[in-house]
Amino acid sequence: MITTGLIGKAKVAKGATTERRKQAGGRAAHGKAEAAARQPRRRGAESRLRILDATFALAHELGYQGTSISKVVERSGLPASSVYWHFADKDALFAAMIQHSFAQWSASLPGWSAPAANASRRDEVARRIRSAIASIASNPEFWRLGLVLSLQRQPGEMQARRLFKQIRRRVIANMADFWRQVLPRRPGHRADRLPEMLARITMATADGLFVSAQIDGGEDHERLADLLADMLEAAAVRLS
């Protein structure tokens, strides 16, 4: 009886060990399958980034009209089939480039949420403008590409330019919301449109500063940000 019991226990233990080995083998096979599936996705992401980088370099050199899929193929070193796998046409490629460069720029873009109750409005504006100018200086691709597309008029509205304008409107709306929260509330007052006006003049000044930096360089961004903040605060006080 004792011998039979020991044999039975040994069989159970052996069966449990075999099951654990099967489970471990299944997990290992599943891990290998996942790793194998990740490789094509990683290669695809790398190819897409190479195409975007090549397109941006060409757009900077040749503009929208001078950039073609064949030139992108040559510059990226990838086959045309790879370009068309990711992007339907040149317009879709430029739109993706706008989105990609905006994501890089917006990662360092300051928020325009309302400041603390005891914070100086002027100082908070200056801080946000300094951060915005610094983000443009460190990630100029979005601004440069968007202005190129905006200045090069085409017979039809390009998807890329339409996307750039949508993003700009969203940024302006965020700035306008900030001003609505920090300006005195006076329903029916002539300054109802003041928040949007202040947001638009900030955006227009950023455009000018970017173009000036491309032409002249060496601008004192800190000083220019403080000057713009003083101008906006003076306008807010006088018109609100």
Domain boundary among 70, 86, 102: 86
CATH number reported for the structural domain that contains residue 72 in this entry:
1.10.10.60
Q: Within this chain, do residues 140 and 56 fall inside the same structural domain, yes or no?
A: no
- Full residue range of the structural domain in which residue 11 is found: 2-86
Q: Are residues 157 and 179 in the same domain?
A: yes
Tell me the two tokens of residue 35.
């790793």
Whether residue 121 sits in one domain with residue 15 = no
Give the pLDDT confidence score for residue 50 in this predicted structure: 94
Distance between the two ends of the chain, CA-based, in angstroms? 99
Residues 64 and 182 in one domain: no
What does the alpha-carbon distance between residue 101 and residue 140 come to, in Å, rounded to a whole number? 8
Say whether both 82 and 102 belong to one domain.
no
Residues of the chain predicted below pLDDT 70: 1-41, 109-110, 153-157, 186-191, 218
Residues 156, 234 within the same domain: yes
Are residues 21 and 140 both part of a single domain? no
Please count the structural domains in the chain.
2
Q: Which contacts of 159-167 are long-range, i.e. CB under 8 A and separated by 24 or more positions?
A: 159/91, 159/92, 159/94, 159/95, 160/64, 160/91, 160/94, 160/95, 160/97, 160/98, 163/95, 163/98, 163/99, 164/98, 167/98, 167/102
What is the pLDDT at residue 74? 95
The CATH number covering residue 94 comes to 1.10.357.10
Digit-coded pLDDT (tens) for 17-69: 666 666 656 555 555 545 444 555 677 789 999 999 999 889 888 888 889 99
Q: What is the C-alpha separation between 184 and 199, in angstroms, rounded?
A: 16
Q: Among 86, 109, 135, give the residue marking a domain's end.
A: 86
The verdict on 103 and 177 lying in the same domain is yes
Do 64 and 116 fall within a single domain?
no
Check: pTM over 0.85? Answer yes or no.
no
Q: Are residues 97 and 204 in the same domain?
A: yes
For 47-108, give the DSSP string. Answer: HHHHHHHHHHHHHHHHHHHH--HHHHHHHHT--HHHHHHH-SSHHHHHHHHHHHHHHHHHTT
Out of 64, 86, 108, a domain closes at 86
> Within this chain, do residues 29 and 116 fall inside the same structural domain, yes or no?
no
| pLDDT value for 130 | 86
Place of tokens 């990662």: 107
Angle at 230 between CA 224 and CA 232, to 5 degrees: 100
Residues 40 and 107 occupy one common structural domain: no
CB count within 10 Å of CB 32 equals 10
